Amino acid sequence: MRVYFDNNATTRVDDRVLEEMIVFYREKYGNPNSAHGMGIEANLHMEKAREKVAKVLGVSPSEIFFTSCATESINWILKTVAETFEKRKRTIITTPIEHKAVLETMKYLSMKGFKVKYVPVDSRGVVKLEELEKLVDEDTFLVSIMAANNEVGTIQPVEDVTRIVKKKNKETLVHVDAVQTIGKIPFSLEKLEVDYASFSAHKFHGPKGVGITYIRKGVPIRPLIHGGGQERGLRSGTQNVPGIVGAARAMEIAVEELSEAAKHMEKLRSKLVSGLMNLGAHIITPLEISLPNTLSVSFPNIRGSTLQNLLSGYGIYVSTSSACTSKDERLSHVLDAMGVDRRIAQGAIRISLCKYNTEEEVDYFLKKIEEILSFLDLTGNNRR
């Protein structure tokens, strides 16, 4: 049996999405920027996809832009907004538990002379709102925060964050990394006072290679990639029409089926929590305020990398952190920021579910974990 429990890293493409994409590789493959019939046809489908995404998110199609991935979207927003403000304001605020796409970009900006402030989080991974309020000042031009954490699943109070930021300094802009939201929790931009948001299609059963960027009308943005002037002159490069069409369909399906999928994933996670706790596991994820599909768990006497490798031998795939940093032997920056005991952090693995996972897979996983623990205890290999 093959059990894929690493859905926060990427997901399989929904069959309905793939079916809709194929025609744009085989028949409707025109460049959407070409002036002839096939180009016009491709462009029409791309714009319909833009309208679908906008409708799901509760915004205008003119506020939706397509990129190659969320990392590009994040770099585009953070770097060019900083360029816009560099002669007037120099302070950016984020948290220490952000994805590397944000944290590494912040490091780059700090080397360019910008002042980056980090709002601490509590032991559950929730941003400390009172500390955020203290940090926002007249020099703050941007706050960037993730809606939900990719490692432990903690859901952030984005509405409260934006309210506090705008109240303290109405000119401060807010970017939300919403990559882990679609298909897991309700998320709409319609009532949020955010100025920018980033999404990635392959996180909600869409294709890899498509990022979705929300840029509120009237806020500053500049091109990061220059060339032919696609995406209304702001993101050059021929658009990935099959991927864009697939991304829009995947987002539609994810939102339409959210309630059923979330209940299913929550049920599987509850079974995992019960079974793992019976085996002596320490649950890191704050279950009551987290994504229904995400579970960070630790066996303190066993390295997470050891468990990951042994499980992989049984065809069970989990991670020890974000896929972007999973080959790094250092402790998770997320768990470190949460103040998780080092021994627990070293033993952490991340299980992330999707709508396709089954109870049979959970049973198989628990059985194999028990076998692994018995083997390690018998051989004494669980001692550091």
Active-site residues: which are they? 324
The response to whether 68 counts as a known ligand-binding position is no
The response to whether 308 counts as a known ligand-binding position is no
CA distance 175 to 180: 15
Closest by alpha carbon to 53, among 266, 204, 260? 204
Closest by alpha carbon to 59, among 174, 197, 232, 247? 197
Return the exposure string of 144-158: e unless at least 16 CB atoms fall within 10 Å of the residue's CB, then b.
Answer: bbbbbbbbbbbbbeb
The response to whether 94 counts as a known ligand-binding position is no
Q: What is the 3-state secondary structure (H, E, C) of the chain?
A: CCEECECCCCCCCCHHHHHHHHHHHHCCCCCCCCCCHHHHHHHHHHHHHHHHHHHHHCCCHHHEEEECCHHHHHHHHHHHHHHHHCCCCCEEEECCCCCHHHHHHHHHHHHCCCEEEECCECCCCCECHHHHHHHCCCCEEEEEEECECCCCCEECCHHHHHHHHHHHCCCCEEEEECCCCCCCCCCCCCCCCCCEEEEEHHHCCCCCCCEEEEECCCCCCCCCCCCCCCCCCCCCCCCCHHHHHHHHHHHHHHHHCHHHHHHHHHHHHHHHHHHHHHCCCEECCCHHHECCCEEEEECCCCCHHHHHHHHHHCCEECECCCCCCCCCCCCCHHHHHCCCCHHHHHCEEEEECCCCCCHHHHHHHHHHHHHHHHHHHHHCCCCC
The response to whether 70 counts as a known ligand-binding position is yes
The response to whether 202 counts as a known ligand-binding position is yes
Tokens of 205: 């059963």
> Which residues participate in the annotated binding site for pyridoxal 5'-phosphate?
70-71, 99, 180, 200, 202, 238
> Which residues participate in the annotated binding site?
70-71, 99, 180, 200, 202, 238
